[in-house]
């Protein structure tokens, strides 16, 4: 859980929470919020690929 949506805090939380599951997935999809600005660091740590969704097309 994050207490605020700073990119550093969100990046650290995503990495810490998903590290154990990293072998099970290859793709992460995010909305275009600025809290995901550290997506490159997440990619490196979790060995995955990130995609950003178009607005209103989360399905």
- Position 17 scores a pLDDT of 95
Q: The domain containing residue 41 runs over which residues?
A: 7-52
Instruction: Indicate the pLDDT class of residue 4, thresholds 50, 70 and 90.
Output: confident
Instruction: Indicate the pLDDT class of residue 58, thresholds 50, 70 and 90.
Output: low
User: pLDDT tens digits for 7-45?
Assistant: 999 999 999 999 999 999 999 999 888 999 999 999 999
> Looking up tokens 């990495």, which residue turns up?
15
Cβ–Cβ under 8 Å, residues 35 and 15:
no
What's the CA gap between 26 and 56, in Å, rounded? 23
Distance of CA 8 to the CA centre of its chain: 11
Q: In this structure, is residue 13 part of a structural domain?
A: yes
Q: In this structure, is residue 18 part of a structural domain?
A: yes
Cβ–Cβ under 8 Å, residues 5 and 33:
yes
For the chain, how many structural domains are there in total?
Answer: 1
Q: In this structure, is residue 33 part of a structural domain?
A: yes
Q: What is this structure's pTM?
A: 0.83
| Residue 34, C-beta contacts closer than 8 angstroms, at least 6 positions apart | 5, 7
Give the residue, 28 or 58, on which the prediction is more confident.
28
């Amino acid at each position: 859980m994050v207490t605020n949506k700073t990119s550093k805090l969100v990046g650290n939380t995503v990495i810490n929470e998903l590290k154990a599951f990293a072998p099970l997935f290859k793709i992460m999809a995010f909305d275009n919020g600025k809290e995901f600005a550290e997506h490159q660091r997440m990619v490196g740590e979790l060995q995955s690929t990130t995609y950003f969704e178009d607005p209103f097309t989360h399905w």
